[in-house]
Amino acid sequence: MSNDNAVTDVVIFSAAVGILVSGQANTFSGVHCYNKATGWGGVGIYLRLPGLTQTRIVNSYFDYTGIIAEDPVQLRVADCFFLGNSYVLLRSVHGVAKGVSIVGNMFSGTGKPLDIVQLDESKGPRFGTVEQVVVDGNNVKGMTARSTVAKRSASTNGTMWTVDFSDALLFPGRMSHVQYTLQVTGGGFPVHALRIAEGNRVVVEADRPVQGTLHVSVDQSS
């Protein structure tokens, strides 16, 4: 398919791949992908243009079938409905993801442990270049939420607090930005510092035992 494509207000039925795109600068709006299900090997929209995606997919319905994007650069998926365990798959060719927004979507599954956004690094390197990637603000039922930003808290009476984001963040072993607040119960002003921020795990240590709650926010995109 050439560049500058627009598909609007259509229903795609009975096809292994609903839309296959190999040219940039596209917009897909109001598309109902009702073709072959992901569980049977089908794909709703396949973006086969690694490194120069420049595609907007908005206000569309993925009916048991999802999206595959190779090395996405400038991709927006927003205000879409994913039904029946369908998801967005980012496939590595050269390990690049830049300017990707997957926000404000609804995902509805059947209770299987399937992530709403998944990484396929089986035929390419790990995603090593991750810039301006935002996966956030999606509501999820019956699937596993994944995001590039997360917030969590942990309470303890001691000198060390650990917060693990492995089951929440999209990219394994990657945290570009970490912010934390240590809320202490009782008097005193303990000295504390961030000791570990790797492997999607954050560890904060204080110089003396205190009763406190650690609040942490992390962001995976540089």
Query: 88-111, pLDDT tens digit by residue?
Result: 999 999 999 999 999 999 999 999
My answer on whether 113 and 180 are in the same domain is no
My answer on whether 81 and 156 are in the same domain is no
My answer on whether 120 and 207 are in the same domain is no
- Smallest Cα–Cα separation from 61: which of 33, 89, 101, 86? 33
DSSP state of 173: T
pLDDT tens-digit readout, 34-89: 999 999 999 999 999 999 999 999 999 999 999 999 999 999 999 999 999 999 99
My answer on whether 205 and 111 are in the same domain is no
How far is Cα 162 from Cα 189, in angstroms, rounded to an integer?
A: 20
As given in the structure block, the two tokens for residue 100 are 């990707």
My answer on whether 77 and 59 are in the same domain is yes
My answer on whether 137 and 159 are in the same domain is no
* Number of domains making up the chain: 2
- Asked if the structure places residue 1 within a domain, the reply is no
Predicted TM-score of the model (pTM) = 0.93
Backbone angles phi and psi of 172, in degrees to 5: -70, 140
- Asked if the structure places residue 46 within a domain, the reply is yes
Q: Which of 141, 171, 192 is the last residue of a domain?
A: 141
Please check the confidence at residue 212 and state whether its pLDDT lies above 80: yes
- Smallest Cα–Cα separation from 18: which of 34, 7, 4? 34
- Asked if the structure places residue 174 within a domain, the reply is yes
Q: Which of 115, 141, 167 is the last residue of a domain?
A: 141
How far is Cα 12 from Cα 189, in angstroms, rounded to an integer?
A: 62
My answer on whether 100 and 175 are in the same domain is no
Find out whether 114 and 127 touch, Cβ atoms under 8 Å: no
Q: Is 88 exposed, middle or buried (0-12, 13-18, 19+ CB in 10 A)?
A: buried
My answer on whether 133 and 25 are in the same domain is yes
Q: Which of 93, 110, 141 is the last residue of a domain?
A: 141
Beta-carbon count within 10 A of 43 CB: 24
pLDDT tens-digit readout, 136-173: 999 999 999 999 999 999 999 999 999 999 999 999 99
Amino acid letter, residue 51? G
My answer on whether 38 and 89 are in the same domain is yes
- Boundaries of domain holding 36: 6-141
